[in-house]
Structure 1
Amino acid sequence: MMKTRIGAILLGGMILAAGQAMAHDSHSHDHGHDHGHDHAHAPVDKAVYDGYFEDAQVKDRPLSDYEGDWQSVYPLLQDGTLDPVMVHKAESGDKTAEEYRAYYETGYETDVHSIEIHGNEITFHDKQDEIRAEYKSDGHEILTYAKGNRGVRFIFRKSGGDDAAPRFIQFSDHGIAPGKAWHYHLYFGNDRDALLKEVTNWPTYYPAQMTGAQVAEEMIAH
């Protein structure tokens, strides 16, 4: 099983060029959330939330939208905390709970268990390393999924810091314009275009202060 490691580029699954339809299970990890916790996040129009919007609505976002300390949800999947989420998905979805767990095992997998974003500096933590670098905006790209809906990757390029830090990071959440992220999927590596083609592995991060039970509750509220 491939893992998203600090400074590594992952490619997997069936991929097409950015901007074309991508073979993916409706990109369901990016859409359809509802919320019930008191950590703040900007409201999003439902159509935008579901991935239907006009190009003109998309605006570049600052790194401050992702400010804070974040935890990977992958350990929560591994230790069983997210099992109720998989059961909930199976109740109305087209997979069994075990099949959903396997799907998210591939999607969430990463060695980067936590991330700190403060100012223009990002610190990546895995079991062996703490790697830090500064980043600046490198614009955005709009992607079209197989289902017909779309998403936006907000891209940042390394401007200084540790050599081992990835040259590019790409955030994907429900927003298409400036607003505080409440969770995000992160793609990171050294090849900007290759990252845009990654559709099977999307390490996902929630605020570090949330308990595992709160993360599960938030996901079930989708």
Structure 2
Amino acid sequence: MEVSTELILNALWETLYMVSISLFFGGILGIFLGVLLVVTRKGHILENRWVFSIVNPIVNTFRSIPFIILLVAIIPFTRLVVGTSIGTTAAIVPLVLHIGPYFSRLVENSLLEVDEGIIEAAKAMGATPFQIIRRFLFPEAFASLILSLTTVTIGLIGATAMAGAVGGGGLGDVAITYGYQRFSTITIFVTVVILVLLVQGIQSIGNFLERKIRRVH
């Protein structure tokens, strides 16, 4: 079976659409949760054991659920949010809930790498907790956050491929429907090559930006 260029391009567009929208909303969720996990932990600027004890297990719970199971488990919620549980847009809901908690742990690790002396100096200068987060924690951890974002983006590409297995669209859907089920080796090969090139390109860009930022610092 000959692979259709239009089919592949449409699938590529659906994959990029899912990744970009999920990355935007999942990134916001991940940053919010990650900051909460850092600043509310014991000894930090907004120590609050109640908030930490609630957020921490929630993040752990969502991280422990394999994406394909999460995809199916929240079908009622997905239908409530977007009106359907099938298709590219519907896949974005579980993608956000999958990648947000994962990204939050990477954000947490990046922010915890910031030297405590910098935080103490900020406190000595009278900086508020919000100012410490915005002007000290994030600028100091920015290079590490770029690599974390790169990792999350690559993880999202893999998750969109799994979403395709259950009708989510994108390159994964093409590989399963037109490649595996119709025994088209060339279709599977082309989709794999495109996915590999996407991952390589994103990783290269992330590494480049991280090096540039570290040189500036």
Q: TM-score range by the shorter chain?
A: under 0.3
Higher helix share: 2
Q: Which fold has the larger relative contact order, with Cα–Cα distance below 8 Å and residues 6 or more apart in sequence?
A: 1
Q: TM-score, normalised by structure 2?
A: 0.26
- Specify the structure having the higher radius of gyration (Cα): 2
